[in-house]
C-alpha cells in the first residue's frame, strides 16, 4: 500500500497569515494520485485530519474487499 506524502504545492504556499486559522493550525489539502491523474479529495483540513481521512478511506476499501490503487498526497 503506498504511503502518503506531505508536500508543498507546485507554487509557493499562501502566506502564513492567510493559511493559518485562529488556533494556529495550518490548513492542508488531501489529493489522490494515480499515474498522471491527480484529484483533490478534501481541502481546508489540518494535517492530522488529512491523515485520519486517508486512514478511513483505506480502511473502508479494505473492509469492502477492495484494494487502493492510488497514493495520497497532503499538500499545504
Phi, psi at residue 36, to the nearest 5°? -100, 0
Cα–Cα distance list, 72 to 18, 21, 34 (Å): 24, 24, 9
Residue owning grid cell 477492495: 66
Cα–Cα distance list, 46 to 6, 29, 36, 41 (Å): 12, 8, 26, 14
**pLDDT the model gives residue 26:** 85
What would you report as the CA-atom Rg of the chain, rounded to the nearest whole angstrom?
13
Domain boundaries, the chain: 5-75
Instruction: Tell me the average pLDDT of the chain.
Output: 85
Judge whether residue 4 has pLDDT over 70.
no
Average pLDDT over residues 22-35: 88
Q: Alpha-carbon distance 1 to 69, whole Å?
A: 8
Amino acid at each position: 500500500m503506498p504511503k502518503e506524502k506531505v508536500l508543498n504545492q507546485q507554487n509557493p504556499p499562501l502566506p502564513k497569515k492567510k493559511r493559518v486559522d485562529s488556533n494556529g493550525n495550518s490548513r492542508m489539502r488531501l489529493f489522490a494520485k494515480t499515474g498522471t491523474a491527480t484529484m483533490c479529495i478534501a481541502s481546508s483540513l489540518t494535517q492530522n485530519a488529512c491523515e485520519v481521512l486517508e486512514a478511513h478511506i483505506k480502511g473502508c476499501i479494505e473492509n469492502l474487499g477492495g484494494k487502493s490503487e492510488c497514493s495520497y498526497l497532503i499538500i499545504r
